[in-house]
Structure 1
Amino acid sequence: MLQRNNIIEPASLREDPFSPSLPELHLDPQGAVVSSNPSARALFPCLVTPGKSFKDLLHEAEKFGFLSNGIASTIFDALLAGRPQHLFEMRDGRAILLSSLTNGPGLQVLSFTDVSYVMQVTLSRQRDVLTGLPNRLELVRQLEERLASPANDEIAVLYLDLDRFKLVNDTLGHPIGDTLLKLVSDRLSKILGPKDSLARLGGDEFVILQAAGEQPTAAEALASRAIDLIGRTYLIQGHSVQVGVSVGIALAGLDGKTPEDLIRSADLALFKAKSAGRSTFRFFTEAMDQEMQARRSMEIDLQRALVLEQFSLAYQPQYQIDGKRLVGFEALLRWSTPARGPVSPAQFIPLAEDIGMIGSLGEWVLRKACKDAAQWPEPISVSVNLSPLQFKNQKLIDVIVSALASAGLPPHRLDIEITEGALMDDTDATVAILKQIKALGIKVSMDDFGTGYSSLSYLQKFPFDKIKIDQSFIRSLETNPDSAAIVRAVTALGESLGMMTIAEGVETESQLRQITHDGCKQVQGYLTGRPVPQHEATLLVEQMN
């Protein structure tokens, strides 16, 4: 159906309304045709004759297939209501704008302007090119209309974002990604109610405008169905593709009174759903808005922190258990501001990753750690954690080489630590980078070993120098027999593969005795040394020597 909103007036309507280039009919006061021009007779072939009522002409146009059923009545009703313009569609798809003017005593002039091209341009501005769904502009317009209705308390906005879509694009290519988006839009369209609508905002983001139902029950049911349906496997060009979807929900009246407010509230709820583990849904709450304001404030402070020199490194010592010899330090990033005080790395490091700051921050850590370690004697090493996102930087190797060179630190005294997250997205590419790092003489360690699903498979793919047993296993050594068994298995595995094992998070003498008995070679934790500033680490090195 044609949209009758935001009609763009074509240039031809500003011309002489009696122009012979426009189809025209002249009607007498009784609505009968007095005269017509050739263009009008071409628009309604063989139907335009003097004396015939315009109403009969329209019904005959329906009968002979020039107009769809029901169109004649809408045109005639518009004229009776005195509307100066009315937009209708011919059976062949052309969009025609009917204009009515009074010329002289009782003479009515009807002109018909083909606005098909103008309508196509207008609709293209309201539609997503890939899927044909309404875009954000059209979504806002529809939402404005619905909010103006008396039953707007039944309206819900569901903001959907696909999980793992970027992985599909990166591994299988954008053509398959585009096909997937079309299939997703098809699936979502099948679960809509008669009054609901679906829009694509761009990328892998969709919005469902639920127009009817008892809320919040109706929105919850729709979100659950979307999660189930989108999560089912897709077969695209021989590839089995699996994605999920997270949903944020906002309710009209409760969570916003304007389209912009509702979309924003649903977006905040979506962020919470993704933070909760993805493939789930969350309703908007006021607390989410407060959290987002706090997050935005922290973003601003974090972006200033490098310039204001608010970051520092603390160094936690690592010891060889046999002989209690100091072998190195792990560099731990710290951030403190006058207003906030010390900020937990668990808060600011994920935020730095989200806002694209982890590259510059990670480079600062690497350069600072190498510079500090260069002041320690051989063979004391420094361990530096790399974020999974840093492996997407094509200049990572150059940054590492530059940091070593400018500090004058031998490569064998640098230990790069990675978690499974660095290997999960693109294992082959990450392994290739790790091989380049190791070829430089730099050591590579697997951090938090045993906490992921594929730890053992990664040991097959790359010869790590060291395995760091996650502190969660060490913490429960004395209370959980399974943890003790895992520690024994990991130390035995490390020894068989020629990899050093280090237990992190050791806090008690009992834990130290247990890991020593199980064959662990190195230790790191509060029992043997808390993280300290660089000058204290240097004093510790001097005392140990």
Structure 2
Amino acid sequence: MAIGNFFSKRSDKRGTEANALGRDVIGKADPRRLVLLDDFEAADLGWFWATDSQARLIYLSDNAAAQFGHDAEQIIGRQLSELFILDRNEDEQEGRVQRPLPFLLRARNSISDLEVRIANGERYDDREVWWSISGKPQFDDEGNFFGYRGSAKDITAVRESQRETGRLAQYDSLTGLANRHRMTKRLTSILTAYKAAKRSCALMMLDLDRFKQVNDTLGHPAGDELLKQVAQRLQRIIGGTGEIGRLGGDEFQVILPDIEDRGRLGDLAARVIQMVSQPYSIDGARAIIGTSVGVAVAPFDGIETEELVSAADLALYAAKGGGRGQYRFYSSELKDGAKLRRQIEEDLRDALSQDQLELHYQPLIDARSHEVKSFECLVRWNHPERGWVSPGDFIPIAEEANLISALGEWVLKQACKEAASWPVDLGVAVNVSAVQFGNADLPLVVKNALQASGLAPYRLELELTESVFIGDPATTKDMFQSLKRLGIKLALDDFGTGYSSLGYLKTAPFDKIKIDQSFVRGATEPDNNNAAIITAIVSLANALGMTTVAEGVEAVDELELVTGLGAKLIQGWIFSKAMPQAEVLERLDSGQLKYEAHGPAKHRADRISMFRRIGVIHEDHRYEAVMRNLSKTGARIEGILDVPLGTDLVLDLGGGQLAVCKVRRSEGPEQGVEFEVPLISDGADGLCTRHRISPYMLAAAGMPLAALPPGHYQMPHSDRSKSPPRFLQIDLTSDKARKER
């Protein structure tokens, strides 16, 4: 309805009122002014509206009314606030705080550029149309309020542009995932709300292993494409379970609301590692990367954003330190571990220059004759203060600190030198990292080591992992050819753990394939597919003319299995651990080339030996005990006398971990217990419970709400009087008691 026609006659009472008020709205405008206003409305530069004292619409520009899917005549008389949709959630998310229209109308406040979404029914389907409206309350000469006069304009395009700008500010332009700013904002919002609702939220931190090598060998555009594909894989794995963000570079973060089950989180982390580690095709080139994952859970590991992120970061750092391609849950001990890693890095630099490193050798045994055929050299570090430092601790640190090339060169030279002094013509295998393999000087380093030691080239074998295929195929092929021209042998180590294609085996000149111990472990158990995998690997190696080695064989049943499946060589503790050079020389000088198998008859779930103080809860009493070993299904404890078989106990393993168990064996102060719910892997070499005591429960019992500190927690007892303790506790932690045992 144009302003010029606003005085059209109406037959009903509402129309009469509208005409009367319309004269007030228009005032003494002359015809020329009315024409200008009509042209202004027709051009959609803006529209006009007016209400009566009851906030009912008495005028609306025709073009404005058309956006509702009606004529102006059908809109007149409706409450102004009914024409718009209140959308507070979006305003809050976009950071806008404004009074709603009904409040402003009731308070008779002026309205200035209020953004509202029109209730346009089915006219535009799902399309949102937004207006900016302004208006002022009108009063007559006696001060009586008689309605609003106002204007409106369509700001849909402007708002969509602002929304896109806001989206770009919160999302990563390369992958489309949330960026660091949005993830921090979301995590803070979730933790604040969940703290009040006593809910949990898990946080995963991950970065890509060997991503830098893709950038360096294939170029940054290939690296960008790889990041996009990683983001797509993460979205397929996580789905609607959580929100994924890219923090920058090759760092990703995943927020997983309402998940605190570490079994479920461990399975998810393992799937992430497996899927991300599958090969990528980028512009015809093939790239292989991996990932490491750190996991922290609120409120157990942190209740504030910075605290939880720091915990997940420490867990990620520990996962990378464990050899990469692993996940790790946060524990309070990791703070001390981070300090230790920094100290180890400093000490490792000194160790290389001060001859603190030495080589030990593990034999590779013929599966049929049990005679030694070669040795694999393994670097060992006898720290002057800490004693023996595990390679699993210092090798990853050497990689991160760019010491791996210097360390690898020292190992190669020393291994050739020591093997050359053996009285028997046996081969020696040396591990070569992907970083070393990517160095164009590697053939020269190998050649110099052979010449300096006098070792025959055919006696040297370099063990490589599938990660060497990450680079440019042509460069990789050239490196293989350069190494083979030296007359040495090549072995593919840890076969099957890189999740890579078998295509490279057609051209890679390997002499040997080593079946990773993860396939040997558990292969004898019912309903385990590892035996079928070993069979397939052996058949593949035979077809390609390669020798197979079964790694990590420890039990007699494992030895019989892999031998029966056709593995040619056996490596594992069932024959021998790695031994120092002096012991190798002693055996070889005496002609002891045959090894006897020594090990348990059957493989059983790994048990971790330890001497660890724990709490034992029975009825309403708590006892102190010592745990001597631990497996997923049970433990051996000492410290409580004569506990009957079948007694139900709860082991307090620290850090809020309670394990319900039943006594299955009892001899004096020693008990063997079976867990009601098996423990799970902590992502490294340890075990943990799926669930923990909730900090909310501790807070309800009087403790301040905070992340779980290390140690044990005395849970509140009921008001009923305690019964006498049923068992006698013995202190086995004293030096005297330990010596007596």
> TM class by shorter-chain length?
0.5 to 0.7
The alpha-carbon deviation at position 141 of structure 1 amounts to 1.7
Aligned length: 456
1:254 pairs, out of 300, 324, 327, with 300
**Aligned 1:61-72 pairs, distance under 5 A:** 64-65=66-67, 69-70=85-86
Who is 2:637 aligned against?
none
Cα 1:79–1:130, aligned 2, differ >3 Å: closer, same or farther? farther
Q: Does 1:440 align with 2:486?
A: yes
- AA paired with 2:563? I
Contact persistence 1:248–1:270 (CA under 8 A): yes
Matched position secondary structure for 1:129: coil
Cα 1:40–1:383, aligned 2, differ >3 Å: closer, same or farther? farther
**Aligned 1:287-306 pairs, distance under 5 A:** 287-302=333-348, 304-305=349-350
Who is 1:181 aligned against?
231
Q: Does 1:139 align with 2:178?
A: no
What are the superposed Cα offsets for residues 265-310 of structure 1, whole Å, 9 maximum, x if unpaired?
Answer: 23445677899999998754324444444444434443x3466435
Contact persistence 2:273–2:325 (CA under 8 A): no
Who is 1:76 aligned against?
101
2:563 pairs, out of 473, 478, 486, with 486
Who is 2:254 aligned against?
207
Matched position secondary structure for 1:256: coil
| TM value normalised by structure 2 | 0.45
Cα 1:98–1:387, aligned 2, differ >3 Å: closer, same or farther? farther
Q: Does 1:403 align with 2:403?
A: no
Contact persistence 2:50–2:57 (CA under 8 A): no
Contact persistence 2:541–2:548 (CA under 8 A): no
What are the superposed Cα offsets for residues 64-105 of structure 1, whole Å, 9 maximum, x if unpaired?
Answer: 43896336995536867989997747778899999999xxxx
What are the superposed Cα offsets for residues 196-237 of structure 1, whole Å, 9 maximum, x if unpaired?
Answer: x55343547341252xx5x736x9768868988998999x99
What are the superposed Cα offsets for residues 413-455 of structure 1, whole Å, 9 maximum, x if unpaired?
Answer: 6502316656887998867644432221224456784545465
Q: Does 1:456 align with 2:538?
A: yes
- AA paired with 1:48? F
Q: Distance in 2 between matches of 1:89 and 1:156?
A: 35
Contact persistence 1:268–1:284 (CA under 8 A): yes
Structure 1 range deviating more: 442-451 or 431-440: 442-451
What are the superposed Cα offsets for residues 90-123 of structure 1, whole Å, 9 maximum, x if unpaired?
Answer: 778899999999xxxxxx9999996876664443
Cα 1:56–1:277, aligned 2, differ >3 Å: closer, same or farther? farther
Who is 2:379 aligned against?
333
Q: Does 1:312 align with 2:357?
A: yes
What are the superposed Cα offsets for residues 147-172 of structure 1, whole Å, 9 maximum, x if unpaired?
Answer: 44462532413316599997999999
Q: Distance in 2 between matches of 1:481 and 1:145?
A: 52
Who is 2:614 aligned against?
none
Who is 1:366 aligned against?
412
Q: Distance in 2 between matches of 1:257 and 1:59?
A: 55
Larger radius of gyration: 2
Who is 1:124 aligned against?
168
Contact persistence 2:434–2:467 (CA under 8 A): yes
Who is 1:190 aligned against?
240
Contact persistence 1:199–1:207 (CA under 8 A): yes
Cα 1:368–1:227, aligned 2, differ >3 Å: closer, same or farther? closer
The alpha-carbon deviation at position 333 of structure 1 amounts to 2.1
Q: Distance in 2 between matches of 1:318 and 1:349?
A: 21
Q: Distance in 2 between matches of 1:258 and 1:58?
A: 53
Cα 1:455–1:231, aligned 2, differ >3 Å: closer, same or farther? closer
Contact persistence 1:163–1:243 (CA under 8 A): yes
Structure 1 range deviating more: 137-146 or 278-287: 278-287
The alpha-carbon deviation at position 137 of structure 1 amounts to 1.0
Q: Distance in 2 between matches of 1:326 and 1:427?
A: 37
Q: Distance in 2 between matches of 1:53 and 1:33?
A: 17
Q: Distance in 2 between matches of 1:346 and 1:254?
A: 28
Q: Distance in 1 between matches of 2:324 and 2:415?
A: 35
- Mark the runs of 5 or more structure 2 residues left unpaired by the alignment: 1-24, 69-82, 89-97, 119-126, 137-148, 494-512, 520-533, 592-741
Q: Distance in 2 between matches of 1:209 and 1:319?
A: 46
The alpha-carbon deviation at position 365 of structure 1 amounts to 2.0
Q: Distance in 2 between matches of 1:59 and 1:249?
A: 61
Who is 2:201 aligned against?
156
**Aligned 1:198-277 pairs, distance under 5 A:** 198-202=244-248, 203=250, 205-210=252-257, 213=258, 216=260, 249-269=295-315
Who is 2:674 aligned against?
none
Structure 1 range deviating more: 126-135 or 412-421: 412-421
Matched position secondary structure for 1:286: coil
**Structure with the higher helix share, 1 or 2:** 1
Cα 1:89–1:178, aligned 2, differ >3 Å: closer, same or farther? farther
Contact persistence 2:377–2:415 (CA under 8 A): yes
Cα 1:338–1:319, aligned 2, differ >3 Å: closer, same or farther? closer
Structure 1 range deviating more: 197-206 or 127-136: 197-206
Contact persistence 1:471–1:504 (CA under 8 A): yes
Q: Distance in 2 between matches of 1:204 and 1:33?
A: 63
Q: Distance in 1 between matches of 2:165 and 2:342?
A: 38
Contact persistence 2:361–2:580 (CA under 8 A): yes
Matched position secondary structure for 1:199: strand
Contact persistence 2:314–2:338 (CA under 8 A): yes
Contact persistence 1:312–1:335 (CA under 8 A): yes
Q: Distance in 2 between matches of 1:152 and 1:86?
A: 37
- AA paired with 1:159? M
Cα 1:489–1:143, aligned 2, differ >3 Å: closer, same or farther? closer
Contact persistence 2:203–2:296 (CA under 8 A): yes
Contact persistence 1:315–1:532 (CA under 8 A): no
Q: Distance in 1 between matches of 2:477 and 2:403?
A: 24
Q: Distance in 2 between matches of 1:357 and 1:416?
A: 22
CA RMSD between the two structures: 6.5
- AA paired with 1:69? I
1:383 pairs, out of 419, 428, 439, with 428
- Mark the runs of 5 or more structure 1 residues left unpaired by the alignment: 1-31, 102-107, 492-500, 512-523
Q: Distance in 2 between matches of 1:255 and 1:78?
A: 44
Q: Work out the percentage of aligned pairs sharing the same amino acid.
A: 22
Who is 1:532 aligned against?
582
The alpha-carbon deviation at position 359 of structure 1 amounts to 3.0
Who is 1:21 aligned against?
none
Q: Distance in 2 between matches of 1:180 and 1:110?
A: 50
Who is 1:349 aligned against?
395
The alpha-carbon deviation at position 341 of structure 1 amounts to 2.4
Who is 1:4 aligned against?
none
Cα 1:135–1:426, aligned 2, differ >3 Å: closer, same or farther? closer
Q: Distance in 2 between matches of 1:244 and 1:445?
A: 21
Q: Does 1:415 align with 2:480?
A: no
**Aligned 1:510-529 pairs, distance under 5 A:** none
The alpha-carbon deviation at position 127 of structure 1 amounts to 1.0
Q: Distance in 2 between matches of 1:83 and 1:254?
A: 50
Matched position secondary structure for 2:359: strand
Cα 1:394–1:279, aligned 2, differ >3 Å: closer, same or farther? closer
